[in-house]
Amino acid sequence: MKKHNFYAGPSILPQFTIENTAKAVQDLNGIGLSIMEISHRSKEFQAVIDEAQDLFKELLNIPEGYSVLFMGGGASTQFAMIPFNFFNKKAAYLNTGAWAKKAIKEAKFFGEVDVVATSEDKTFNYIPKGYTVPEDADYFHITTNNTIYGTEIREDLEVGVPLIADMSSDIFSRTLDVSKYTVIYGGAQKNLGPAGVTFVIIKNDALGKVDRPIPTMLNYQTHIDKGSMFNTPPCLPIYASLMTLRWIKENGGVAAMQKRAEQKANLLYSEIERNKCFKGTVTDPADRSFMNICFVMNDGFEDYEKDFMELATSQGMIGIKGHRSVGGFRASTYNALPIESVEALIEVMQEFEKKH
């Protein structure tokens, strides 16, 4: 039976990425050694990281004056690195979910944090609007896509202070104006590669403006100066990410990924709205994530949640159980998920509806 991988992360990767990384684990480009056993200082791995950086810049149209870094520690380490490098007197944050809260928690170690708006009052099922970012904030931090709650900021915000964005789960799914951001960062394990590498896109001239001493490994300048090679980088996940970047380019680039994302999301949201058994958790279409589509049993059908899960699992649907903190269901429709998997899930939903 074909498996349809809706895991929220680590998540589905292109077959191109999996197959070519597997070959490199056996033998990298015919050199007789595995990608897992060559030195990160070798010319072979330098070529990998150079191409990965170049493709990042090409696919996202990153302007001059920005660096692309590959680091360890996950996005969670970035929650502390951001204030270490940018927090002087006050920072502004938008609270849209669990990961935004974790970032806020780390920033509070450094001083005053202005949470300009939050959607916690309604279990984070919307994106706050109409807030004001203080002009004296050192930066404004957002989490663009909220995997647990199924909301997404699908536009590049206009704010009067440096904009910093955690794009762990929607990077490469829509076109961006990178020039509007000071930092974009994220874990790779959604749309880019396996867990283990974190990407950082950073505006070079924004650094060096805090007075505090910064630990060497937590200083972005360290990693810019050494080309992500200050310490041993996560070589295998970087190689796999390079394969995904090649796949994106070969399949039409980020604009094509955006079109695919919209098509898949619109199909599934339309079925959720039509089907009497289900309802979406994010009511405003403008706030709905195109990466993580969250839904629950409709009123009167709450007792059938287990039945639907069993039916979906029997039909090869993997990873659709909602996050433990909210329950229900979540279909993650990252770039590598084929539209056929969305269509298969819709068929299961329609079959369930006929039975009930």
Residue 138, token pair as written in the block? 């050192």
- Please report the sign of the dihedral spanned by the C-alpha atoms of residue 220, residue 224, residue 227, residue 231: negative
Task: Report CA torsion sign: 221, 144, 105, 90.
Answer: positive
Indicate if 247 belongs to the active site: no
Compute the radius of gyration of the chain from its Cα atoms. Answer: 21
Contacts of 120 (CB under 8 A, 6+ apart): 95
CB half-sphere exposure, 222, CA atoms < 13 A:
12
User: Active-site residue among 23, 27, 54, 99?
Assistant: 99
Active-site residue flag, 166: yes
Out of 138, 170, 190, 203, the active site residue is 190
Please give the single-letter amino acid code of residue 87: F
E strands, the chain, in order: 4-5, 66-71, 90-95, 112-118, 140-143, 145-146, 151-152, 163-166, 183-187, 198-203, 278-280, 292-297, 317-318, 329-332
3 annotated active-site: no
Question: For residues 48 and 238, is the Cβ–Cβ distance under 8 A?
Answer: yes
Q: Which of the following is catalytic: 138, 166, 170, 287?
A: 166
Residue labelled with tokens 């001239």 = 205
Considering all CA atoms of the chain, what is the largest pairwise distance in Å, rounded to the nearest integer?
65
Q: What is the rounded distance in angstroms from the CA atom of residue 140 to the CA atom of residue 134?
A: 9
For residue 265 the two structure tokens come to 């999301």
CB 203 within 8 A of CB 182: yes
Q: Beta strand 112-118 with 90-95: parallel, antiparallel or unpaired? A: parallel
Residues with catalytic roles: 99, 166, 190
